[in-house]
Amino acid sequence: MTPFPALTSRSVVLPQANIDTDQIIPARFLSTTERAGLGKHAFNDWRWRADGSPQPGFAFNQPANAGRQILIAGANFGCGSSREHAPWALVDLGLRAIVSSQIADIFRNNALKNGLLPIVLDEAVVQSLMQRPDDELVVDIVACELRTPDGHAHRFPLDAFARTCLIEGVDELGYLLLREPHIRHYEEQHHAR
Amino acid sequence: MPLKAPRTLFDKLWDAHVVVAETDATPAVLYVDLHLIHEVTSPQAFTALRDRGIAPRAPQRTKATMDHSTPTTQADADGKLHYYTLASEAQVDLLARNCAGHGIELFDMQSADRGIVHVLAPELGLTQPGMTIVCGDSHTSTHGAFGALAFGIGTSEVGHVLATQCLLQRKAKTMAITVDGPLAEGVSAKDVILHIIGVIGVNGGTGHVIEYRGSTIRAMDMEQRMTLCNMSIEAGARAGMIGPDAVTYAWLENTPRAPQGDAFEHAKARWSQFCSDENARFDQEIAIEACHIRPTLTWGTHPGTAIAVDRAIPAANDAAARKSLDYMQFESGHALAGTPVDVVFVGSCTNGRLGDMREVATVLRDRRVDARVRMLVVPGSELVKRQAEAEGIDVIVRAAGAEWREPGCSMCIAMNGDLVAPGQLAVSTSNRNFEGRQGPGSRTLLASPMTAAWAAVNGCVADPRELFAAPAAAREEVA
């Protein structure tokens, strides 16, 4: 995994709560055996009409939002299905961070494995950020801070291990493979029975 | 020596599987006893292993089935299956090649044991108390019904388990949900879990593992317990679990893959330790009285929008609720009962077991599905299908005008061509009512098998307690 880059971006706002992974990528796009190229299906049924033309009102179809790397979303983002296709699609869409007052467990785990940073902040802070999508936000992963142009720094929680992995580009599988002696020992202790 | 602090079931399951303990800086390395895979969330994991030149560490601990993309229509006379898309068929073929290439046991389309992953593993006895069980599927929480720690993972983690038989995990918090008292007639485990999600909210369990306790839970059979644990994820919980008891052991004793003979007795002694100690502390405790639970459905676009069948849809207090109502084409203040229904779906890992099929047959016997309704009944596995057919359930279902299908996930996730058309309203025994879940533009009411079947007969949402009420004539006489 490549190290998490310095991130400065304006944001895209999807204010509704409980955006589930079926909305992030509908199940009919899960027949792929690849992980690349799913960005075109991100938020498919909100973003595209049945005839394939863009829904003009949808945030990701606004020309002004093109290239923005931060999504600010309502509470409980990523609930539902465990499909990792959801963060694959969001990263392919160009996103690097999701800001919400609550992010569902499995989605958060999956996001971290794909360099997509889950940023959980108080609901009031999230609401205020939603009002100012054109502010350039600075995500400082070393300090675990999201900074706004008016000088506010909002600390966000980030597991120490996840932070190290993101900063150093460490991949979890590599880390697990190095635990081989421990795994072997566990198996000898527990499976000898 | 200090007394050992009382531990919860989750604590015991966790402690028994820690390979490397967690620290502030690093998560625990947790051993996985049983890894279940299916065609949709495994291909990219096998690719990741191949790219790194790694073979599965313990292929005998991984079991595979095909369920999400598979057709529920019968094969042609020459055995040809009709997949919805070429991509679906290619995905299923790739699973077969990946399993063959790595020595992983696969329950394929020819297998007499094939089924939905969360139906198959428990009925074979692969799912056992005291185990850690994971699958690239959020409804893995189902297996917690046996006193296992079972949870859904992403595809990267499927790769981690294939490669190392372990996962990196932070220990979750615990929540006890105690349900006490007898359930009323017409009220099932599905109503209990929908009620619970309605109470704690669609995110009420986030960061937690739920243990279900109390006399109501103890009185449930294993199928009902699985229905309950299955939907723990719909409250945001990592896992749901129930301590094993005589009901659990009776189920396991009749399964082919559980320990047999003396080994079974030995296993039972070990399994019985997996219960919460008296006075074990939970981070959250919630008590629910069974007498307050009525037949329950959802009105909105997430499972937390659960209300009793005779209650009115609540006022929309926020933008999300208004969006839900708008999508569902419902109005606050109206009851769901009487709402015309287009499709009824019975099946899925939530309610695709023999008991569910029996419940539906009880309702459909000597009745007809309303002419306006399309009803699909999809057994959760080949075994459920065989058992149901041995009881003549398929005949009752067909005689009522419903379709009796081949096993699979079917219309729950609508990947295989079993779709609810845009704008149509479905009453479904599955687990998710998200926008478009059963097909683009589909509208879903989640309900129990009995409520679903009764809706099919009535052509509209109806209260299944009517099935138990005194006949109208008798009531008039009394009046």
The answer, yes or no, to whether residue B470 has pLDDT greater than 80, is no
Torsion of CA B178, B252, B432, B391, to 10 degrees: -120
**Number of inter-chain CB pairs under 8 A, A vs B:** 173
Confidence of residue A5 (pLDDT cuts 50, 70, 90): confident
With beta carbons under 8 A apart, name residues in chain A contacting B233: 80, 106
Q: Does B262 touch chain A (CB under 8 A)?
A: no
B423 touches chain A (CB under 8 A): no
List B residues 306-325 in contact with A (Cβ-Cβ < 8 A). Answer: 318-320, 323
Q: What pLDDT score was predicted for residue B472?
A: 52
Q: How far is CA B150 from the centre of its chain?
A: 12
Full-model pTM: 0.97
| Cα torsion B183, B224, B359, B250: sign | negative
Give how far B208 is from chain A: nearest CA, Å.
9
Interchain CB contact of A160 with B (< 8 Å): yes
Q: Which residues of A touch B87 (CB under 8 A)?
A: 31-32
Answer whether B242's CB lies under 8 Å from B192's CB: no
Average pLDDT for B158-170: 98
Q: How distant is the Cα of A187 from the closest Cα of chain B, in angstroms?
A: 9
Instruction: Report CB contact under 8 Å: A27, B414.
Output: yes
Q: Within an 8 Å CB–CB cutoff, is residue B437 touching chain A?
A: yes
What pLDDT was estimated at residue A158?
A: 97
Query: Is the model's pLDDT at B1 over the cut of 90?
Result: no
Q: Does A157 touch chain B (CB under 8 A)?
A: no
| pLDDT 10s digits, B176-220 | 999 999 999 999 999 999 999 999 999 999 999 999 999 999 999
CB-CB neighbors (< 8 A) of A127 in chain B? none
Question: Percent of chain B, pLDDT > 70?
Answer: 97
Is B436–A31 a contact, with Cβ atoms under 8 angstroms apart?
A: no
pLDDT at A122 over 80: yes
Most B CBs within 10 Å, among A158, A176, A193, to test the B interface: A176
Cβ <8 Å between A173 and B164: yes
Chain A 26-55, CB below 8 Å of chain B: which residues?
26-28, 30-35, 45, 50
> Is A83 in the B-facing interface, judged by CB distances under 8 Å?
yes
How much of chain B exceeds pLDDT 90, in percent? 96
Q: Residue B251: is its pLDDT beyond 70?
A: yes
> Residues A74-84, buried b or exposed e (16+ Cβ, 10 A)?
bbbbbbbbbbb
Chain B residues closer than 8 Å to A79 by CB = 202-203, 236, 302
Q: Is B65 on the interface with A (CB under 8 A)?
A: no
Interface of A with B in 119-148 (CB under 8 A): none
* Residue B476, pLDDT above cutoff 50: no
Q: Which of A31, A172, A187 sits opposite B168 (nearest CB)?
A: A172
Q: Does B432 touch chain A (CB under 8 A)?
A: yes
CA distance B436 to chain A (A): 8
Q: Is the pLDDT of residue B335 over 80?
A: yes
User: Nearest Cα to B162, choosing from B109, B99, B239, B90?
Assistant: B99
Q: Which two tokens stand for residue B387?
A: 């058992």
Contacts of B203 in chain A (CB under 8 A): 18, 75-76, 79, 102, 104
Q: Note whether B440 contacts A26, CB cutoff 8 Å.
A: yes
What confidence score (pLDDT) does residue A193 get? 47
Q: Which of B22, B31, B283 is nearest to B170 (CA)?
A: B22
Whether A106 and B165 lie within 8 Å, measured CB to CB: no
Please check whether residue B421 touches A, CB under 8 A.
Answer: no
Q: Quick check: B283 and B174 in contact, CB under 8 A?
A: yes
Mean of the per-residue pLDDT values for chain A?
96
CB-count exposure of residue B342 (10 Å: 0-12, 13-18, 19+):
middle
Contact A22 B436 (CB under 8 A): yes
In this prediction, residue B4 carries a pLDDT of 80
Averaged confidence pLDDT in chain B = 96
Of A17, A161, A180, the CB nearest to B320: A17
**Tell me, what's the pLDDT at A38?**
98
Instruction: Tell me the pLDDT tens digit for each residue of A27-66.
Output: 999 999 999 999 999 999 999 999 999 999 999 999 999 9
Average of per-residue pLDDT across B24-28: 97
Range A101-122 average pLDDT = 97
Residues B371-414: pLDDT tens digits?
A: 999 999 999 999 999 999 999 999 999 999 999 999 999 999 99
Q: In this structure, how many other beta carbons lie within 10 angstroms of the beta carbon of residue B4? A: 7
Considering only alpha carbons, which residue of chain B is nearest residue A50?
A: B440
| pLDDT for A6 beyond 90 | no
User: Is the Cβ of B191 closer than 8 Å to some Cβ of chain A?
Assistant: no
Determine the residue of chain B that is closest to A164 in CA distance.
B25
Q: How far apart are CA A125 and CA B317, in angstroms?
A: 21
Radius of gyration of chain B (CA): 22
Report which secondary-structure segment, H or E, holds A147: strand A145-147
pLDDT at B473 over 80: no
Instruction: For an interface test with A, give the residue of B83, B434, B437 to mutate (most A CBs within 10 A).
Output: B434
Pick from B266, B464, B457: which is nearest to B367 by CA? B457
Dump pLDDT digits (tens) for B343-366: 999 999 999 999 999 999 999 999
Question: Whole-angstrom Cα distance, residue B151 to residue B167?
Answer: 11
- Listed residue (B199, B63, B201) closest to B140, CA to CA: B63
Position B281 confidence tier, pLDDT thresholds 50, 70, 90: very high
Checking if the pLDDT of B478 tops 90, the result is: no
Alpha helix segments (H runs only) across chain A: 21-24, 44-47, 85-92, 105-112, 123-130, 160-168, 172-177, 180-191
CA distance B366 to chain A (A): 37
